Amino acid sequence: MLRTQTRTRRLVLLAATFTAAALLSGAVVTAAAAAQEPRAGRADTAVGQVHLWLPKPMGPYAVGVRSEYVSDPSRIDDATGRARELPVRVWYPARKHSHGPSAPYVSPLVEGLLEQTFDAAAGTFDIDTHATTNAAARPHLRGVVLVQPGGGSVTAFQTGLIIELASRGYAVVAMEIPHESEIVEQSDGQVIMGDGTYPFASWRLDAQVVLDDLPRLVPQAGPRTPIGMFGHSRGGAATIDTMFHDARIRAGVSLDTGVILWGSDSTPPSEVTTVGLDRPVGLMCSLEAPCSSPYLLDFVSRLSGPHREKELNILHNGYTDFVVFNAEAAQIDPVLGAKLEGEVGDQGWPTGVGHSLRAGRAALAAQRNFLGGFMDRHVGF
């Protein structure tokens, strides 16, 4: 029997920002209206200001990013009454000395929610992404990599890995999953709250509509440009499921694979769990879902293509940027660090590295090496 895997921790959306009715119904509100509400910051000034940061990517290229939207007219979103719309961020290798504003880690709305949730000072999640907004793109790519988030999370929490791939020469298309991602801002400013009810089988439909739109999203890619995919938790499960149903994905990496792949009371297991795959698959495992888990061992036995597994001494959410953020916060503000690590209160992203910045950086470096090396071997030109 599969154990119940902890889903990526959801944000507590404070009543000061969204009404209780919106939270209960997954209703649509406007980002502009939410932004007008006062933001809560830490009242005390005895503790120094926490500035979270990501280690610089190690690849040879500068990184650019731009925001886009992908629509699927074949599916109508009940919350908006319009075609389903996916926000995406396209990260890519940029030309040297490109000028422009530094790319934000998250939108002002999401930044404010994070800071309110953890009673953190304004600016705590104003994080340097080591990327430039709308920078001029290099004309050549090693490949394209799609990204889907963990359940109840947002793809921003994979930025440390995304910028590593972009700095190595890949265009990385990171998509949100409306009604599953905790908060999704639409092109008209409306906001859809995640309610956790989005069918798992539809995640691959989102990936496929993005694949169909790649000529517009990544114009420097050609018809023969190789495509990979990765994701965390439910996004990792969706990576494997999408590979099974769409041969355009040459290789994929799943970070602490969500057990939804093997089904639940309301979701049948993906066919891939019994049929297997003949293309490259990388699996990274955690203390909560070790590579020795019977269901993973069975799945690996069905893989006829190249595959690699690696287990890190971290928890499920150690496969997010919080693996470095939590320890960074603890160095300046131990209370905030404890909240982020889930040691205080009922929120947070427990990573398993505690307050050890060295352990957190080592874990992120190991993930970058595994993911980058796997893509270089099986996707990159």
Q: Is residue 341 part of a domain?
A: yes
Q: What is the pTM of this model?
A: 0.91
Per residue in 279-305, pLDDT (tens digit) is 999 999 999 999 999 999 999 999 999
Nearest in space to 141 (alpha carbons), one of 211, 57, 220: 220
On the question of pLDDT at 168 being above 70, the answer is: yes
User: Residue 1 falls within a domain, yes or no?
Assistant: no
pLDDT of residue 98: 82
Contacts with 344 (C-beta within 8 Å, 6 or more apart), sequence order: 335, 338
| Residue 227: CATH number of its domain | 3.40.50.1820
Is 63 part of a structural domain of the chain? yes
331 phi and psi angles, rounded to 5 deg = -65, -30
Summarised one tens digit per residue, pLDDT across range 58-74 is 999 999 999 999 999 99
Displacement of CA 181 from its chain's centroid (Å): 9
Residue 366 lies in a domain: yes
With respect to residue 14, please indicate whether it lies within any of the assigned structural domains.
Answer: no
**13 in a structural domain:** no
CB count, 10 Å around CB of 83? Answer: 13
Nearest Cα neighbor of 232 from 321, 319, 292, 353 is 319
For residue 185, pLDDT over 60 is answered with yes
Percent of the chain at pLDDT > 70 equals 87
* Mean local confidence (pLDDT), 3-15: 45
Q: Are 315 and 332 spatial neighbours (Cβ–Cβ below 8 Å)?
A: no
Q: Please give the pLDDT value at position 346.
A: 80
Give which of 118, 106, 203, 214 is closest to 154, Cα–Cα: 106
**pLDDT over threshold 80, residue 147:** yes
Amino acid 4: pLDDT? 41
- Report the chain's mean pLDDT, rounded to a whole number: 89
Average pLDDT over residues 138-148: 97
pLDDT tens figures, 327-352: 999 999 999 999 999 998 888 999 99
For residue range 262-275, list pLDDT tens digits in order. Answer: 999 889 999 999 99
The domain total for the chain is: 1
Average pLDDT (112-125) is: 93
Residue 7 has pLDDT above 70, yes or no: no
pLDDT reported for residue 34: 46
pLDDT band at residue 166 under the 50/70/90 scheme = very high
Q: What confidence tier does 47 reach under pLDDT thresholds 50, 70, 90? A: low
Q: Are 279 and 246 in contact (CB under 8 A)?
A: no
The pLDDT value given to residue 13:
43
Q: What is the dihedral of CA 214, 217, 221, 227, to 10 degrees?
A: -50
- List the domain range (segments joined by +) for residue 154: 57-378
pLDDT at residue 44 greater than cutoff 70: no
Question: DSSP labels for 32-73?
Answer: HHHHTSPPP--S--SSPPP----PPP-SSSEEEEEEEEEEEE
In this prediction, residue 97 carries a pLDDT of 83
Distance CA 54, CA 164 (A): 11
217: left (phi over 0), alpha (psi -120 to 50) or beta: alpha
Residue 10 lies in a domain: no
Q: Which of 337, 327, 330 is nearest to 357 (CA)?
A: 327
Q: Is the pLDDT of residue 255 over 60?
A: yes
More confident residue, 278 or 22: 278
Q: Cβ of 113: how many Cβ atoms within 10 Å?
A: 23
Query: Are the beta carbons of 262 and 273 closer than 8 angstroms?
Result: yes
**What confidence tier does 196 reach under pLDDT thresholds 50, 70, 90?**
confident
**Inside any domain, residue 312:** yes
Mean pLDDT of 353-377: 97
Q: Is the pLDDT of residue 19 over 70?
A: no
Of 208, 228, 259, which Cα lies nearest the Cα of 379?
228
Quote the pLDDT of residue 30: 54
Q: Are the C-beta atoms of residues 152 and 180 closer than 8 Å to each other?
A: yes
pLDDT average, residue stretch 313-318: 98
Q: pLDDT category, 1, cuts 50, 70, 90?
A: very low
